[in-house]
Amino acid sequence: MDNGSSNRENDGENDGAADQWPLLPDWMWDCADCVRLYEEMRHVQAEVAGLTAEDASVDWDFTDSVLGTQIRLGRHLADAHAELLPPWDPGCGTCAERQESLVKAEGRPDWMPAAVMNAEEHRARHLFVPPRLLRLL
């Protein structure tokens, strides 16, 4: 099944592909929450870019805006569409780290829910952020 994820962290590092926003899979456009959260994320990103382009001294907390909207979209995808998330990407270092976290959390009921959510949110991000940004979360 094609889930829309063909991005790898190292793909296209020299040709700009690592900075390209992926095309969303068709099923995401069928979910009103996916569309709303994706549009919110892109809107905040454009606002931040516009503010800082006008005045480089604008004090804008990037982590509270762009990353926050990415986390909300990733959490929605992990909660509502877990069966449609892309598989682990063998070329992604963060995927490997999340898989290690899952192994470490085995037998630890206090750790497992957070490890699973972090892993699924990261896999979800493969659907909607450029490969270079996958390293951030």
pLDDT of res. 120: 96
Is 0.85 topped by the overall pTM?
Answer: no
Q: What is the pLDDT of residues 8-18, one digit of tens each?
A: 434 444 556 77
Which one has a higher pLDDT value, 51 or 90?
Answer: 90
Report the pLDDT averaged over residues 42-52: 72
Q: What is the mean pLDDT of the chain?
A: 82
Could you give the CA distance from residue 49 to residue 4 in angstroms, rounded to a whole number?
27
User: Predicted confidence band at 75 (pLDDT cuts at 50, 70, 90)?
Assistant: very high
Q: What is the pLDDT of residues 32-45, one digit of tens each?
A: 999 999 998 888 87
DSSP labels, 67-133: HHHHHHHHHHHHHH-GGGSPPP-TT-HHHHHHHHHHHHHTT-TTTHHHHHHHHHHHHHHTTTS-GGG
Q: What is the pLDDT of residues 107-121, one digit of tens each?
A: 999 999 999 999 999
pLDDT of res. 23: 92
Q: How far is CA 13 from CA 100, 111, 130, in A?
A: 25, 34, 11
